[in-house]
């Protein structure tokens, strides 16, 4: 059994959906302080984040925010040495939910118990640029468009994604997709989703997905207005996608024209080519008893 981390520090994202109120931030800071954990604001600059989070005297990092905050921390962690804990203060909180830390109370109980779990990470290289890491999901086309449009409904929390999905329209295109080094296939779809955890916001569209199986799960979103809206309505009513899923360890995608790419709560515009691969068991996390 791995030894739990010893010296901890918390980083909160003041722009996270549920940390915008001063009272919420104060309550979080007090709760961590009672556990001997000092809380700082998450540095917005990537170099400053790496210096603060990956400091050699820090063994464990508590991320206080949503999936975007988790991704920012993951890309700054010393993965060989440090442990990550997540408290859910964003809109989707998919990684926290998957770790059975979907409420602040559960996250604190898991932190107190110091129960460890290793999960996979997704590595993404965009148009030949240096790779970045994500813990939850990567998507192009439809889902990325929904995330952008959901910014208009921030006040609704994760329900804003549902409303944005029902109101958004994404034009289908043909993608050239290679799975695990196989020959390229042409997929005529409105979007592609690569999922590492079971969750998309409040929904659990693919309950069979595991974040520690050494692979990720790939699905597509159907083209056409009726199919697209039926897909969104099914998700809203049942919490399930109902689309075929295939497991993979590497996916290479080339779009017919530039698309938006979703990476754990953030959106990268105008992407034409990207490659995704899995890093098995790369992230050591604090997890609840049911994770």
Tens digit of each residue's pLDDT (9 = 90 or more) over 126-182: 988 899 999 999 999 877 777 777 667 766 666 666 676 667 667 889 999 999 999
Residues 6+ apart with CB under 8 A from 207: 198
pLDDT tens per residue across span 93-108: 999 999 999 999 999 9
Q: Are residues 190 and 88 part of one domain?
A: no
289 found inside a domain: no
Q: Are residues 132 and 50 part of one domain?
A: no
Number of domains in the chain: 2
**Which of the four pLDDT bands, split at 50, 70 and 90, describes residue 1?**
very low
Residue 33, number of CB atoms within 10 A of its CB: 12
Percentage above 90 pLDDT, the chain: 67
Of the three residues 120, 154, 182, the one that is the final residue of a domain is 120
Dist. CA 168–CA 149, nearest whole Å: 7
- Crossing angle between the packed helical segments 104-113 and 22-33, to the nearest 10 degrees: 20
Q: Is 123 exposed, middle or buried (0-12, 13-18, 19+ CB in 10 A)?
A: middle
Q: Are residues 273 and 149 part of one domain?
A: yes
Q: Are residues 156 and 110 part of one domain?
A: no
DSSP 100-124: T--SHHHHHHHHHHT-EEEEEEEEE
Lowest mean pLDDT of 30-44, 99-113, 136-150, 222-236, name the range: 222-236
Q: Are residues 145 and 261 part of one domain?
A: yes
Q: Are residues 227 and 142 part of one domain?
A: yes
Q: Are residues 143 and 116 part of one domain?
A: no
Of the three residues 120, 150, 166, the one that is the final residue of a domain is 120
Residues shown for the chain: 291
**In the prediction, which pLDDT does 232 show?**
67
288 found inside a domain: no
263 found inside a domain: yes
**Which of the four pLDDT bands, split at 50, 70 and 90, describes residue 286?**
very high
287 found inside a domain: no
* CATH number of the domain within which 271 lies: 2.60.200.40
How far, in Å, are 55, 75, 274, 288, 289 from residue 130 at the CA level?
A: 22, 12, 11, 33, 36
Domain of 26, in residue numbers: 8-120
């Amino acid at each position: 059994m791995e030894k739990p981390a010893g010296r901890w520090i918390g980083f909160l994202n003041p722009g996270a959906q549920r940390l915008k109120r001063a009272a919420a931030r104060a309550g979080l800071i007090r709760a961590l302080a009672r556990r001997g954990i000092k809380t700082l604001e998450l540095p917005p600059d990537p170099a400053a984040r790496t210096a603060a989070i990956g400091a050699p005297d820090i063994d464990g990092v508590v991320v206080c925010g949503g999936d975007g905050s988790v991704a920012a921390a993951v890309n700054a962690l010393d993965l060989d040495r440090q442990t990550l804990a997540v408290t859910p203060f964003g809109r989707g909180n998919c990684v926290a939910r998957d770790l059975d830390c979907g409420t602040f109370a559960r996250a604190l109980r898991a932190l107190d118990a110091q129960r460890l779990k290793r999960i996979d990470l997704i590595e993404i290289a965009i148009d030949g640029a240096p790779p970045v890491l994500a813990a939850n999901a990567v998507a192009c086309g439809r889902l990325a468009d929904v995330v952008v449009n959901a910014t208009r409904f921030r006040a609704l929390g994760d329900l804003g994604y549902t409303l944005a999905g029902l109101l958004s329209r994404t034009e289908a295109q043909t993608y050239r997709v290679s799975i695990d080094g196989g020959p390229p296939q042409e997929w005529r779809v409105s979007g592609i989703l690569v999922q590492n955890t079971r969750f998309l916001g409040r929904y659990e569209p693919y309950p069979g997905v595991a974040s520690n199986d050494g692979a990720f799960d790939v699905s597509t979103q159907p083209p056409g207005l009726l199919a697209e809206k039926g897909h969104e309505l099914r998700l809203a009513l049942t919490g399930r996608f109902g689309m075929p899923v295939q497991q993979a360890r590497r996916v290479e995608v080339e779009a017919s024209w530039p698309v938006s790419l979703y990476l754990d709560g953030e959106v990268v515009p105008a992407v034409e080519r990207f490659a995704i691969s899995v890093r098995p068991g790369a992230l050591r996390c604090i997890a609840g008893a049911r994770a």
